[in-house]
Structure 1
Amino acid sequence: MRVSVVGGGTITGGQERTAVAVGKALAASGHTVVCGGLGGTMEAVCRGAKSEGGETIGILPTDRRADANEYVDTAIATGLGHARNALVPMNGDAVLALAGGAGTLSEIGLAQVYDRPIVGIDTHEVPGIETVDTPEAAVAALEGAVR
């Protein structure tokens, strides 16, 4: 399945390690990563996925595919700025939310509008998010929710 991973564009070292581990776990289970395609969580999750031979899709806020981080296989330029946040959860079968700010929160809200299952690790406390502690638990929860 496609899993939209949402999280901050600026992250700490611990958050980076979590995002890399999420990308690895998703790819190891055969899932495609969908994200915003830039830095922070987006770069880290794509790096993790690529290290396991996974596929990555970046839905960019800019109008240039070249702006994607180096680990994005398919870059989709939108020119929409923050409005592209609607497209990230829309293009996943489920959403995995990591730590982030208002942009991440908007993607969580839109995931709920699109009725996507949402699993979170150290993310916003929002009703409707299944909270787990590890990337492996997140993958298992997402797989169970999409069946």
Structure 2
Amino acid sequence: MNISTAKAHMDIPQPVRKSRLANPGWFLVSPSVALLLLWMIVPLGMTLYFSVIRYNLLNPGENEFVGLENFTYFLTGSGFLPGATNTLLLVGSVLLISVVFGVLISALLEASEFLGRGIVRVMLISPFFIMPTVGALIWKNLIFHPVSG
């Protein structure tokens, strides 16, 4: 028997595997995950409930179960096809324009060296630096002002 065969027969202790549930992070995160699930599931359940009943705002106690009748009324209505067409056209055109111009501007900035390239980059990224509250205040007080906007 040589040394190599003797080492092969030695028992090497396997590392002890911890269970995923033994990690205390699961217990620390679970209350917030439960609240987020509740925050999502309750409105979803209410939406599904209100979609299968006839709900009258003038008489809220008189709810009548109608099943899928609301969906057939919506899908067969005269305004559905023009509304869906306008929505898809608007979304498609905005997406196409955004992607095409974004790729063109990024290719232009990456490929060419021109004077003021850094300034143009800062101008393109600067809208991300503005906080949403500041942006909302600017829109409210400057652009949508009833007198001077």
After TM superposition, the score normalised by the length of structure 2 is: 0.19
Higher relative contact order, chain-length normalized (CA < 8 Å, sep 6+): 1
Structure with greater strand percent: 1
Please tell me whether Structure 1 or Structure 2 has the larger radius of gyration of its CA atoms.
2
